[in-house]
Amino acid sequence: MSAVTLEKKSKKGSALAFLGVLAILALVIVLENTLNPNKNIIVFTALKKGAVYALVAASMNLLNGFTGLFSLGQAGFMLLGGYTFAILTIPVAERANVYYIFDGSAINFSLTEAMQNLFGGSGVGGAVGFVIGAIIALICAGLVAAFFAWLIGLPVLKLKSDYLAIATLGFAEIIRAIFQWEALGKITNGANALKNFPTLASFNITNSNGEIVLRLSTFVAFAVAAICIWLMVLLINSSYGRAFKAIREDEVAAEAMGINLAKHKRMSFIISSFFAGIGGALLAMFMNQVQAKTFTSTMTYEILLIVVLGGIGSISGSTIAAFLYMACSEWWLRFLDVPTSFKTAGGYWAFVIILALLAVGITALLVLRRRKAGARKFSEMWSACVLGVVILGYDIYYYVSATAKVPFLNSGFRMVVFSVIIMVVVLFFRKGLFGDKELSDVFRSIGRIKKAAPAKSEGGAAK
């Protein structure tokens, strides 16, 4: 295979990926405008949050997975981005209301309003101005986060592995404390939330009566995330991306090849923080408000979990894991929080059948393991059946009594099940769902297997 044909193939691949993303964006618009948003509020919450977290997880992966710098400062940079966006875009008329504790804001200027006025106040011009203002504010959010990354990058990036993690975690905590500081209240509103700035819902198109004509709120989250992730993929596939990977693999060899370690590490740190800042702004737009206390280290761990689940060093992995994670925690497992989930006729039978299958499955699995270990007599195997018998017994009791409440189904149980699922995933996929492979690699290897299969059968015939 010559280099030329492979290049052509990868061009074809990126064109396909581009079309795929466009199709997803179109699907989001269609879904949002056909499904009733009030009835399906959980679905759209999961989708929007998934998009935001996909962006942030990809930015974390750029640093942790591709450059091999273990940083835990993501929440801090998101906070910087979220606050920057809010401070720049709260409408001037709302400022007194938002900052009422501090007698108004020190900044009496709104980027989105200024742009709206520039493009003609209301109507189409106003909308264009609003979008441009929001884009500029998003970029500013990224730039502020990037500036702080540059500032702390100088001393902090000299540290390695866990020490770097602790230093960046400390930075995030300090930033959170500073933004809650009363003395900065005129700008940050102290410990109180900033609100009334443009949110994702502000992008819905309304007619003159204020009725929504076209819903775009989920689309906006997806579009911003898609553009940012696309830029990151471009960076990773460029020669800079190769240098990052070289540093991850072997710092000494990378340096011997002439790669300036300090410069490239700082570059990766700054770019990662830039996108984390945009992600933070997007999260603020999703939550309709921004408050320092939400950007805790727990948030960073959540993102880290997504990165690990998706695969360290795989942007596709981070993106898909973010959506799966949000779908699980916000949507698919919700029924576990409601005691009456299985009270409907269908739910009742589903529960009885699932439990029976679970009992049989567990018993079969345990018995097989014993047999593999060499057990043949019943006296050696009976203990493997105990768990299955107990589950089956409970199932029969539940079936007979019919009114028995399902135990554990209560608010919070969802997170218990979710944790177990995550543990199982990590046990079975040691390197995450994707390892360090991308979606394109998966398709390529499927193509190779398809091609290899007929070749094998020919070989068999020749024999």
Partner 1 sequence: MSDVILSIKDLKVSYGGIEAVKGISFDVKQGEIVTLIGANGAGKSSTLRAIAGLVKPSGGSISFEGEDITAADPTEIVKRGVTLVPEGRRIFADLTVLENLKIGAYLRHDDLKDDIEWVYSLFPRLKERSWQPGGTLSGGEQQMLAVARALMSRPKLIMMDEPSLGLAPIIVRGIFDIIREIHRQGVTILLIEQNANMALQTADTGYVLETGRIGLSGTGAELLSNEDVKRAYLGS
CB of 168: closest distance to partner 1 in angstroms?
24
Helix then strand count (H, E) for the chain reads: 18, 4
**55 near partner 1, judged by CB under 8 A:** no
**CA quadruple 318, 292, 96, 186: dihedral positive or negative?**
negative
**Nearest CB to partner 1, comparing residues 126 and 313:** 313
Handedness of CA 92, 98, 101, 106 (dihedral sign): negative
Measured in degrees and rounded to the nearest 5, phi and psi for residue 194 equal -95, 135
Runs of H (alpha helix) within 35-73: 41-61
Distances (CA, A) of 2 to 7, 9, 61, 449: 9, 11, 31, 20
Closest to partner 1 by CB, 127 or 261: 261
* DSSP state for residue 64 in the 8-state scheme: I
Instruction: Tell me which stretch binds partner 1 (CB under 8 A): 71-79, 172-180, 237-245, 330-338.
Output: 237-245
| Nearest distance, CB of residue 122 and partner 1, angstroms | 50
Which residues fall within 8 angstroms of residue 154, CB to CB, at 6 or more apart? 266
Beta carbon nearer to partner 1, 162 or 249: 249
Q: Which is nearer to partner 1, 12 or 343 (CB)?
A: 12
Q: Site for partner 1 (CB under 8 A): which residue of 186, 245, 334, 370?
A: 245
Identify residues 280-339 at the interface with partner 1 (CB under 8 A): 313
Count of residues binding partner 1 (CB under 8 A)?
A: 20
The gap from C-alpha 56 to its chain's centroid, in whole angstroms, comes to 6
Q: Provide, rounded to whole angstroms, the least separation between the CB of residue 261 and partner 1.
A: 9
Report the residue number, 246 or 276, with the smaller CB distance to partner 1: 246
Q: Tokens 């911003």 map to which residue?
A: 224
- Contact with partner 1 (CB under 8 A): which of 149, 157, 243, 322? 243
Closest approach of partner 1 to the CB of residue 306, in Å:
21
CB of 241 to partner 1, least distance (A): 10
Least CB distance to partner 1 at residue 242 (A) = 5
Shortest reach from residue 271's CB to partner 1, in Å: 18
Q: Which of 5, 36, 207, 239 binds partner 1 (CB under 8 A)?
A: 239
Task: Match 């029969």 to its residue by tokens.
Answer: 396
Site for partner 1 in 390-429 (CB under 8 A): none
Find the binder of partner 1 among 35, 41, 213, 250 (CB under 8 A).
250
- Buried b / exposed e over 303-320, threshold 16 CB at 10 Å, is bbebbbbbbbbbbbbbbb
Query: Segment contacting partner 1 (CB under 8 A): 136-144, 156-164, 238-246, 301-309?
Result: 238-246
CA dist., res. 128 & res. 116, Å (int): 7
When binding is defined by CB under 8 A, the residue of 162, 182, 249, 380 that contacts partner 1 is 249
Q: Is 224 exposed, middle or buried (0-12, 13-18, 19+ CB in 10 A)?
A: buried
Cα–Cα distance, 342 to 405 (Å, whole number): 9
Rounded distance, CA 305 to CA 435, Å?
Answer: 14
Restricted to residues 431-450, the positions that interact with partner 1 (CB under 8 A) are: 436
SS3 category, 105: coil
Residue tagged 């727990």 (tokens): 298
Q: Which of 246, 285, 315, 355 contacts partner 1 by CB under 8 A?
A: 246
Residue number, 182 or 250, with CB nearest to partner 1: 250
- CA of residue 388 relative to chain centroid, distance: 37
- Residues 6 or more apart whose CB falls under 8 angstroms from that of 114 comprise 133
Please state, in angstroms and rounded to a whole number, the distance separating the CA atoms of residues 73 and 309. Answer: 19
Minimum distance of partner 1 from residue 336's CB (angstroms): 39
Smallest gap, in angstroms, from Cβ of residue 322 to partner 1?
Answer: 23
Tell which positions 252-291 bind partner 1, by CB under 8 A: 252-260
**CA-based nearest residue to 315, from 446, 442, 146, 444:** 442
Task: Please measure the distance between the N-terminal and C-terminal CA atoms of the chain and give it in whole angstroms.
Answer: 28
Q: How far is the CB of 4 from partner 1 (least distance, A)?
A: 9
Binding residues vs partner 1 (CB under 8 A):
1, 3, 239, 242-243, 245-246, 249-250, 252-260, 313, 436
